[in-house]
Structure 1
């Protein structure tokens, strides 16, 4: 049965069970059920993925914190329904089975194995389907072993993460795997260029990293990633964007300070990758990404919560394969990305967020001209910049809310505006399409049980 035929039945079943279980049997998002805590204990705004200090420690501890009660099943589910409108209709359908504009879609339908397996092992494993691919496939995975011990009178939390998406394992949930916007439309055009670490390898690799968090201040992590085989990727329904030549090392250093009513952190991170775009031996395209990030949270009494986070990535690349094959005009180049987001949340229920982003790099007339009218560039520039505004309402997820803490929902409206898109403000594709034509309004309903 086609996924699009099955989707309405799944959506109806999901929503019925959401209401029924919330009111009667208290089926819950698995982490909340396991700990007995409200969603707001771990998440700003009572909904993921933005973490409070408690949520950060829960992740560092391997998802194993519990209220001591037995019989908890670490299974959860999520559904996201969205409506997408762009200022100007696309010249082609946004996706197969959809139109050029004003599309209603089942953006995500996910099942999770998420929670405590043993005293020291926990999981976050997600399988997702949607209206676009019309199939289920492997999504994010993070399997952890964690423990702690005293050293010189200070606590050390240490562990190992096995994951399939660089930065998804980050305990602060503010790098590219979790960066705002936490939910965005899959049916709207997006900038063609972004640093390699920002999602180029997601779900196509397997990685192992070791980490330590000392004295509740100092975090360090070191690991590496290797491409999954083509046959495994086909079985998992994930992408095939070439393969890594050997191991791609990843590292992270952060200083964190929690002062109860407020906290801040500053960190460094990086990754070095050698990619073979085809599954053949030969020259590689090499990417070296180094970034800096920082964040501040004012928690207060949790009535008024303010957050601000930012990151900057500098990527240096040597495109041996693309240059030799005529896919790039220059052997060497750089790409830089800056993100800044600030949010205000009232009583963990009403939230507003404003963000800006800026992507810029060296001009390459071949690399950045893919011939697609809605996303291609005629000027050879990767530069894009814009802003994102979002307002959302999360009525559940608090200790005294309806169904607490066993059901959750977020309703939101998001607007993305572009002041430059793929190198230009006006006529970036040579067919009269301007950056502002891609401005997008996205309305979403996000459910979790």
Structure 2
């Protein structure tokens, strides 16, 4: 096993890495559009991607059950993503067996969705994905929801519950790190920091959680839930494999979310707090040590919607994670018992006529030094930072588009620039590779139907 793979495995066991191959995304699936009678742009900024309009936020809180009343809608959709990736300097080894060290074209993924109303108060967003890079099929994002509308002291109240497999995927505002820009990224180049907080995708698909939520007066949102690890057998049966198992979560695992939301029709905004506390037993052996994590974050967004011809958005999140690394210390994989990690994401976007999009993001991850956990990094720190620029065009996916709402296509070019990677701007690996060498141009074609 080479040093890069060993480092990735140790980081995964610690629950710290989001993984280079993970793209925490969800989509504007056409089955929602057929069910509601609306085009995809009614729910999603730019017709594609996780940025939700006020209509989309309320649709998700309502359990994916809002409908135009017509019968015969089948809650099935599909998606295919293809891409070409170029990095500033060829990688030392091919990122995945069967590919080159640079200039790779690929069928990234093909997904099937069960998405929409299942019963009067029950809806789902469930995704099964064929990974064209890893050549395997597995369960992807899952969010099964129950929602009940009532009143409290004369104000509208929605009470609901979510069964999901990724902490934060059920968030209705889609502004937490798990939804952070970029919404689609390269699996054959570099699309963000190697090391991430636990709530930023480190557990996705490998856990099962249940939470209860309330949405009062179209403004106040609160949610509380807990998660359990899937068994190794269950992970294998779901196509996830056992090699990426993050370990066994402790009984005290808790997820919480508070937010304030305001829909002003021509604009909207939200601001919130969130947290995730858990312990992880890497080897799942009774009596063995665990690593403990506490994530606390703040997030917010602003949308100028106007007449939907010119749409401007701002989003941001910040997470502080404290760590107690008993299991890592005992295994000789960390030199310090305690540590911390900080994660910042900011992005702005502009869309013209829901067709042409320009997005700019900034990301930064930094943390305390550890001579063993980050042994391969400059200065023994996880620090990375950079910017992402994306240009995209959505020819199909709007109300007056050809084939609406069945045909949806987005074409895009995304460029990721690194000012720091794994601890330094220059020679971060001790072998002469610079952060700028990882700058990645990612061209993609993305369709849903």
Secondary structure, counterpart of 2:140 in structure 1: strand
* Correspondent of 1:259 among 256, 261, 264: 264
Instruction: Write out per-residue CA displacement over residues 62-95 of structure 1, whole angstroms, 9 at most, x where no aligned residue.
Output: 0111111111110000000011100000011111
Separation in 2, partners of 1:221, 1:122: 18
Residues 365 and 378, structure 1, Cα contact 8 Å, conserved in 2:
no
Separation in 1, partners of 2:137, 2:228: 23
- TM-score, normalised to structure 1, is 0.91
Instruction: Write out per-residue CA displacement over residues 380-414 of structure 1, whole angstroms, 9 at most, x where no aligned residue.
Output: 11110000000000112211121122210100000
Q: Structure 1 residue 63 and structure 2 residue 64: aligned?
A: yes
Root-mean-square deviation over aligned CA pairs: 1.0
Separation in 1, partners of 2:318, 2:381: 19
Residues 84 and 440, structure 1, Cα contact 8 Å, conserved in 2:
yes
Secondary structure, counterpart of 2:150 in structure 1: strand
Correspondence for 2:4: none
Unaligned residue ranges in structure 1 (runs of 5+): 1-27, 370-375
Aligned length: 416
Residues 177 and 317, structure 2, Cα contact 8 Å, conserved in 1:
no
Unaligned residue ranges in structure 2 (runs of 5+): 1-28
In the TM superposition, 1:225-240 aligns within 5 A as 225-238=227-240, 239-240=244-245
Q: Structure 1 residue 219 and structure 2 residue 215: aligned?
A: no
Secondary structure, counterpart of 1:197 in structure 2: helix
Correspondence for 1:404: 404
Secondary structure, counterpart of 2:177 in structure 1: coil
Residues 94 and 101, structure 2, Cα contact 8 Å, conserved in 1:
yes
Correspondence for 2:294: 288
Moved over 3 A (4+): none
Separation in 1, partners of 2:318, 2:246: 25
Separation in 2, partners of 1:305, 1:208: 35
Does 174-183 or 120-129 show the bigger shift?
A: 174-183
Q: Structure 1 residue 362 and structure 2 residue 377: aligned?
A: no
In the TM superposition, 1:144-159 aligns within 5 A as 144-159=145-160
Separation in 2, partners of 1:48, 1:33: 17
Q: Structure 1 residue 244 and structure 2 residue 246: aligned?
A: no
Residues 96 and 132, structure 1, Cα contact 8 Å, conserved in 2:
no
Secondary structure, counterpart of 1:180 in structure 2: coil
Instruction: Write out per-residue CA displacement over residues 421-443 of structure 1, whole angstroms, 9 at most, x where no aligned residue.
Output: 00001000010000000000000
Does 427-436 or 243-252 show the bigger shift?
A: 243-252
Q: Structure 1 residue 336 and structure 2 residue 335: aligned?
A: no
Separation in 2, partners of 1:208, 1:260: 32
Residues 262 and 298, structure 1, Cα contact 8 Å, conserved in 2:
yes
Correspondence for 1:8: none
Correspondence for 1:98: 99
Separation in 1, partners of 2:91, 2:335: 29
C-alpha displacement of 1:162 = 0.1
Residues 226 and 247, structure 1, Cα contact 8 Å, conserved in 2:
no
